[in-house]
């Protein structure tokens, strides 16, 4: 379950990235249309609002798996391992409660919009249940990710592996961030290097 959710969360993060790219394209097109063609789509604000909400919620679970959410843990890092582990679990439990509340509220809102046939007060008349449902799906994925990570942490702690729990739940350090950046840069440079020449002087393929 953990691996499946991690894979699904990674794909959801890709969708979130495309949402933000679409926001950029829509805004740039609207600006260019106003300046050069003298008209506005009159739907950019509405569509970008939907894309922003969906991109945000669909990126939450993947960010959690990558330990990318912001945490203020200056004091936690200085505490003994056993105390850190229990504080990590307490933070995860609080996140589970808040995620469940948000997911429940989002699905309730989408359900009400579906039953009432609510639409946006705009030229597109978008059925609100559609963007609200997609937004709620991202929040539900976040809740499932919290449950999966929590279950693995409890299992490791019951086996006496407190260090594994600490590594899995602690915030990313600046050293990890720097190492990941260097790996990405090295990979990009490796892809752009020319292929070695073959016997005839032509690049090998």
Mean pLDDT by groups of 10 residues along the chain of 205 residues = 87 94 91 80 84 94 87 78 86 93 95 91 85 95 93 87 81 70 75 55 50
The pLDDT of residue 200: 53
Q: So what's the pLDDT on residue 59?
A: 94
d(CA 119, CA 54): 17
Give dist(CA 59, CA 135) in Å, integer: 11
Describe the crossing of helices 129-158 and 44-65 by its angle, rounded to 10 degrees: 10
pLDDT at residue number 177: 67
What's the rounded Cα separation, in Å, for the pair 112 and 68?
Answer: 33
What's the pLDDT at 75? 77
Question: Could you tell me the pTM of the whole model?
Answer: 0.80
pLDDT at 205: 47
Distances in Å between the Cα of 119 and the Cα atoms of 107, 112, 123, 174 are 16, 12, 10, 45
Strand partners, 119: 127
pLDDT at 174: 64
Residue extents of the structural domains in the chain: 2-177
pLDDT computed for residue 197 by the predictor: 52
């Amino acid at each position: 379950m953990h691996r499946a959710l991690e894979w699904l969360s990674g794909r959801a993060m890709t969708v979130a990235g495309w949402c933000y790219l679409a926001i950029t394209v829509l805004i740039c097109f609207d600006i260019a249309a106003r300046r050069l063609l003298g008209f506005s789509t009159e739907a950019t604000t509405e569509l970008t609002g939907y894309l922003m909400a969906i991109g945000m919620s669909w990126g939450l679970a993947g960010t959690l798996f990558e330990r990318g959410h912001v945490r203020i843990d200056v004091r936690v890092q200085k505490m003994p391992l056993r105390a850190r582990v229990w504080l990590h679990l307490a933070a995860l439990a609080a996140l589970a409660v808040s995620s469940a509340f948000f997911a429940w509220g989002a699905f309730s809102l989408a359900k009400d919009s579906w039953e009432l046939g609510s639409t946006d007060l705009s030229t597109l008349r978008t059925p609100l249940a559609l963007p609200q449902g997609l937004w709620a799906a991202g929040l539900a994925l976040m809740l499932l990710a919290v449950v999966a990570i929590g279950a693995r942490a409890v299992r490791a702690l019951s086996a006496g592996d407190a260090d594994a729990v600490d590594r899995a739940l602690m915030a990313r350090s600046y050293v990890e961030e720097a190492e990941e950046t260097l790996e990405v840069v090295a990979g990009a440079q490796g892809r752009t290097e020319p292929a070695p020449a073959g016997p005839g002087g032509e690049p090998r393929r």
